[in-house]
Amino acid sequence: MPKTLRIGLLLYPGCMPAGLFAFADLLHGANRRAGQPLFETRFIAPGLSEVECAQGVWLRTCELADSIDLDALLVPGFWAESPQHVEKVVGVNDQLIAMLARVPKTSRLWSYCTGVCLLAAAGKLDGQAATVTWWLMDAMRKKHRRVSWAAEQTCVMNQRTGTASGLNGYLPIAQAIIERQVSPEVFRDLSKLMVLPRPERTHQAFQSLHLIEQSDGMLRSLHALVQRLPASDISVKRIATALRMADRTLARKVLALTGCGVGEYARKIKLDQVSERLIMTSAPASTISAELGFSSDSGMRRMFKELTTLTPSQYRQMFGRN
């Protein structure tokens, strides 16, 4: 019988535990599907028997983190609204980071969303490839230069570490573990039964464009307008007129909110629509280009590759559902 993989689900004040529950449920499902205990999960915390997680949820830990022998540890993210907020949270978790630094090299370390910042602070990602939630990438590159940050990837699994972006980053980590320890077929069965169709995996370049993440009303209106317009009809003047703003005012606001010019931001929105269709449908890229109103298929393909470093066919192979 294969050895049971013992995985600690790390708790710390303010962490978001929902992904840990989902992760544990997927591994429990894999055990049931395989008919043997391939995975064992338990909540742990450094020096605490109970932890107040996000939204005032209290969870009891099984054992202290430093007193048990684990094969792997999963570090969840915490709620943060800016790189400065992340730095503050990391700064007050020195005990937790010290515990992570002491984890032996024989144990695997996985993390997702803002939790990746804790692994980086503990030095556990030095000399390795890793990814992180899109809006933290620039800050992490500056602060942790010994890590090979992979902006174009949403999940990076190494021999001893694994990192993923986004609140649902636990899912690609669980997928990699189940496929490695059991089989891809078992994960496909579990995902059909236990995983909602969305959110789908997508490229880092598009993760800042989701409407739920747009806090500014003007930006939400711009986003919706650009989605409706054919790509060849989009111009700064047309957007400004529709939003009842001067061209310069629009340009100044968009640059302040996104770091992009209006044209660049609008182009990303249209290419995000291309991305969604590549993921969700089997339509040829030329058909998608025509449906979204690009002036030429070759122009759409060129812009798409410039933004993602992938051709539409490579993107569909990497992120598509089929």
- The residue whose two tokens read 């047309």 is 238
The closest alpha carbon to 211, from 199, 193, 224, 196, belongs to 224
CATH of the domain at 80: 3.40.50.880
- Are both 29 and 177 inside the same structural domain? yes
One digit per residue, pLDDT tens: the chain, 322 residues? 578 999 999 999 999 999 999 999 999 999 999 999 999 999 999 877 899 999 889 998 876 555 567 899 999 999 988 889 999 999 999 999 999 999 998 999 999 999 999 999 999 999 999 999 878 888 999 999 999 999 778 899 999 999 999 888 999 999 999 999 999 999 988 988 887 655 456 777 787 676 445 567 888 889 889 988 999 999 999 999 999 999 999 999 999 888 889 999 999 999 999 998 898 788 899 999 999 999 999 999 999 999 999 999 999 988 876 5
- Boundary of a domain, candidates 133, 166, 199: 199
Residue pair 78/15 in contact by the 8 Å Cβ criterion = yes
Please report the pLDDT score of residue 1 as a whole number. Answer: 58
- Are both 107 and 211 inside the same structural domain? no
- Are both 153 and 255 inside the same structural domain? no
The domain in which residue 143 lies consists of 5-199
Please report the pLDDT score of residue 174 as a whole number. Answer: 96
- Boundary of a domain, candidates 133, 165, 199: 199
- Are both 61 and 182 inside the same structural domain? yes
- Are both 166 and 221 inside the same structural domain? no
CATH of the domain at 287: 1.10.10.60
Please report the pLDDT score of residue 63 as a whole number. Answer: 60
Please report the pLDDT score of residue 213 as a whole number. Answer: 54
- The residue whose two tokens read 């020096």 is 47
Q: Does the reported pTM lie above 0.75?
A: no
- Are both 79 and 215 inside the same structural domain? no
- Boundary of a domain, candidates 145, 165, 199: 199
- Beta strand pairing call for 39-45 and 63-64: parallel
Residue pair 103/124 in contact by the 8 Å Cβ criterion = yes
- Are both 133 and 228 inside the same structural domain? no
Please report the pLDDT score of residue 208 as a whole number. Answer: 67
Q: Tell me the CA distances in angstroms from 178 to 237, 253, 284, one per residue in order.
A: 51, 45, 32
Please report the pLDDT score of residue 212 as a whole number. Answer: 47
- Are both 193 and 301 inside the same structural domain? no
- Are both 191 and 228 inside the same structural domain? no
The closest alpha carbon to 124, from 83, 163, 78, belongs to 163
Q: What is the dihedral of CA 215, 218, 291, 304, to 10 degrees?
A: -60
Count: domains in the chain:
2
- Are both 94 and 52 inside the same structural domain? yes
- Are both 24 and 145 inside the same structural domain? yes
- Are both 81 and 195 inside the same structural domain? yes
Please report the pLDDT score of residue 191 as a whole number. Answer: 85
